[in-house]
Amino acid sequence: MKVLVLGSGAREHAIVTALNRDPQVASVVVAPGNAGIAAEVECRALTAPLSDGPAVAALAVEVGADLVVIGPEVPLVAGVADAVREAGILCFGPSAAAARLEGSKAFAKDVMAAAGVPTARSTVCTNTDEVTEALDVYGAPYVVKDDGLAAGKGVVVTDNRMLALAHAAQCLNRAPEGDASPAVVVEEYLDGPEVSLFCITDGVSLLPLAPAQDFKRVGDGDQGPNTGGMGAYSPLEWAPPGLVQEVVDTVARPTIEEMRRRGTPFAGILYVGLALTSAGTRVVEFNARFGDPETQVVLARLGTPLGGLLRAAATGTLDQVGELSWRPEHAVTVVIAAKGYPRGPRKGDVIEGLDAVAELGPDVRVLHAGSTRTGSGQLVVDGGRVLSVVAVGADLEAARELAYRAVDRVRISGSHHRRDIAQAAARGQVVPPSVGSRA
């Protein structure tokens, strides 16, 4: 099978790496890819934006793809999966109607309410008076979310009421998208450790992948603004036994059933972002795709061939896939970000030291995100999150140690990364609150 992968991040680099391990996958083409992906497979530039469905469908026909895998949310929400399927090509990724689970937080809340899925109490607000009232209802810490897509940066969690109001005002003052006027979701604060669980589904059957934990804040100790994600690890030894089954039964399955009931079945990855609070497991967010950087650690451990799995989801035959297999090792990824990320990443800095990382052996790999080659062939920064260094080890500490040894060999002027990815978990310091009282 020939697979066309859409996207240019380290998530797509991880997907390509896993597809290349699948003997059923004859070749992989990526559009547009990045410098790291281009070193492994053919990359195609797209003259149109990634969210241009007909252009992507035409490219899929041109390269003779049997399956198209859509990485990022923007093309999914724009309906690229629909356009590919209309062209008669299999596609892994939900329709535009189903991707609204990620595209609109208000829509996701509506589906969760209808399906009885546990989540934070919330209010959808379209003006600042409503925001003021909702902030008072839920109290501090305040949680204000842009209703639409914001690349992981649309959420503000703060004790500062003025900051919460300012973020809401900024979101509400945006120009309307199509006929939808801007909205924000104000909700109650959820405490407790966060878990990302990806469920692969064909719209009817579903299989959970291994849970992972993501580090969203830019700085050590969860300080600073939210980012797209600065690191991740998997599996989660501290997670309560039965967590995955609980999430499948109380979140993923009811959501998939509700989407089918609405006539907009969801097929692809249902990314369930959870908080394990003292009151029980609560959904923080849904995404309609693989998470980045969690995918880098989840796929590093997946033993089941990925191409066959994605094709089964795209053809409605997931019930014929047996149990998934996993490598026993632990995986850790650390993201190296450009100077200025997330506010204003600086491009053009030279990336050096990757040969020295390669000397550390096959248990550590550098997946590329914001990298490109100049006309003279020099590898340089081309985006906020530049590289995702992924290591596997017999335990979490071994994986961390190797990941950071590799990170320390990479040189990019002004770059930054967190030093505490998976640290608390490796020390046994991640404890879900009052497990006995959890729902």
Q: What does the binding site for ligand GLY look like in residue numbers (CB under 6 A)?
A: 152, 214, 229, 287, 291-292, 294
Q: Which is nearer to ligand AMP, 22 or 285 (CB)?
A: 285
Q: Which of 30, 31, 96, 143 binds ligand AMP (CB under 6 A)?
A: 143
DSSP, collapsed to helix, strand or coil, labels residue 103 as helix
Partner whose footprint covers residue 292, from ligand AMP, ligand GLY, none (CB < 5 to 8 Å by kind)? ligand GLY
Partner whose footprint covers residue 226, from ligand AMP, ligand GLY, none (CB < 5 to 8 Å by kind)? ligand AMP
CA pair distance 232, 226, nearest whole angstrom: 14
Q: Which is nearer to ligand AMP, 157 or 252 (CB)?
A: 157
Q: Which is nearer to ligand AMP, 30 or 134 (CB)?
A: 134
Q: Which is nearer to ligand AMP, 273 or 383 (CB)?
A: 273
Least distance in angstroms from the C-beta of 128 to ligand GLY:
27
- Chain-centroid distance of CA 350 in Å reads 27
Q: Which is nearer to ligand AMP, 11 or 145 (CB)?
A: 145
Q: Which is nearer to ligand GLY, 226 or 281 (CB)?
A: 226
DSSP per residue, 11-50: HHHHHHHHHHT-TT--EEEEEE--HHHHTTSEE---SS-T
Nearest C-alpha neighbor of 246 from the set 272, 216, 215, 284: 272
Q: Using CB under 6 A, which residues numbered 252 to 281 contact ligand AMP?
A: 273
CA pair distance 109, 125, nearest whole angstrom: 13
User: Residue 251: which residues within 8 A CB-CB, separation 6 or more?
Assistant: 117, 118, 272, 274, 281, 283
Least distance in angstroms from the C-beta of 227 to ligand GLY:
9
Q: Which is nearer to ligand GLY, 22 or 294 (CB)?
A: 294
Tokens 């407790």 -> residue: 192
Give the chain's length. Answer: 439
Give the count of beta carbons closer than 10 Å to the beta carbon of residue 304: 16
Q: Which is nearer to ligand AMP, 107 or 189 (CB)?
A: 189
Partner whose footprint covers residue 189, from ligand AMP, ligand GLY, none (CB < 5 to 8 Å by kind)? ligand AMP
Nearest C-alpha neighbor of 214 from the set 269, 152, 155: 152
Partner whose footprint covers residue 294, from ligand GLY, ligand AMP, none (CB < 5 to 8 Å by kind)? ligand GLY
Q: Which is nearer to ligand GLY, 131 or 143 (CB)?
A: 143
Tokens 């690349």 -> residue: 151
Least distance in angstroms from the C-beta of 65 to ligand GLY:
24
As a whole number of angstroms, the longest Cα–Cα distance in the chain is 61
Using Cβ positions, the residue closest to ligand AMP within the complex turns out to be: 285
Q: Would you call the peptide bond into 328 cis, given omega within 30 degrees of 0 as the criterion?
A: no
Q: Using CB under 6 A, which residues numbered 215 to 234 contact ligand AMP?
A: 216, 226
Q: Using CB under 6 A, which residues numbered 177 to 196 contact ligand AMP?
A: 187, 189-190, 194
Least distance in angstroms from the C-beta of 284 to ligand AMP:
5
Q: Using CB under 6 A, which residues numbered 351 to 380 contact ligand AMP?
A: none
Least distance in angstroms from the C-beta of 252 to ligand GLY:
17
Which secondary structure element, helix H or strand E, spans residue 365, and what is its range?
strand 364-368
Q: From the DSSP assignment, how many helices (H) and strands (E) are in the chain?
A: 16, 24
Give the count of beta carbons closer than 10 Å to the beta carbon of residue 317: 13
Q: Which is nearer to ligand AMP, 62 or 222 (CB)?
A: 222
Least distance in angstroms from the C-beta of 137 to ligand GLY:
27
Nearest C-alpha neighbor of 325 from the set 305, 311, 310, 307: 305
Least distance in angstroms from the C-beta of 74 to ligand GLY:
12
Q: Name the phi and psi angles at 142, rounded to 5.
A: -85, 140
Under rule CB under 6 A, residue 285 binds ligand AMP: yes
Distances, alpha carbon 43 to alpha carbons 30, 57, 203, in Å: 5, 16, 30
Q: Using CB under 6 A, which residues numbered 108 to 127 contact ligand AMP?
A: 120
- Asked if residues 305 and 331 have their Cβ atoms less than 8 Å apart, the reply is no
CA pair distance 342, 227, nearest whole angstrom: 6
CA pair distance 313, 149, nearest whole angstrom: 25
Least distance in angstroms from the C-beta of 378 to ligand AMP:
35
Partner whose footprint covers residue 291, from ligand GLY, ligand AMP, none (CB < 5 to 8 Å by kind)? ligand GLY
Q: Using CB under 6 A, which residues numbered 144 to 163 contact ligand AMP?
A: 145, 155, 157
| Interacting residue ranges for ligand AMP, rule: CB under 6 A | 120, 143, 145, 155, 157, 187, 189-190, 194, 216, 226, 273, 284-285
